[in-house]
Amino acid sequence: MRIGFTYDDPVDKLSSGAESISCEYEDYRTLDWIHDCLSSLGNVIKFPWGRESLIKLVNTNVDVIFNITEAEGGRNRESLVPAVA
């Protein structure tokens, strides 16, 4: 099975300027743990949030997408990946 894993790169509390923003994003340890768990089910293809990854996602044949992307922008930002997929 080919599994697409969409996620945000972690945000540093200090550089983001707001701890509340960084709380919505997973750290690298958690991302690695999720990747390892998904890998036990099949081949995992990583899609870190960004325009290039959305284009890659559209052009890559995956069986299922595991999405934890917060994305960016307005109120509907978390629905961007499901809308594209």
67 to 1, 8, 9, 16, 39: CA distances (angstroms): 16, 10, 13, 22, 15
- Antiparallel, parallel or unpaired: β 64-67 and 43-48: unpaired
**SS3 of 63, please?**
coil
pLDDT at 14 over 60: no
Please give the average per-residue pLDDT across 23-42, as a whole number.
88
pLDDT tens digits along 47-64: 998 878 888 888 999 999
Strand partners of residue 4: 45, 65
- Tell whether pTM > 0.85: no
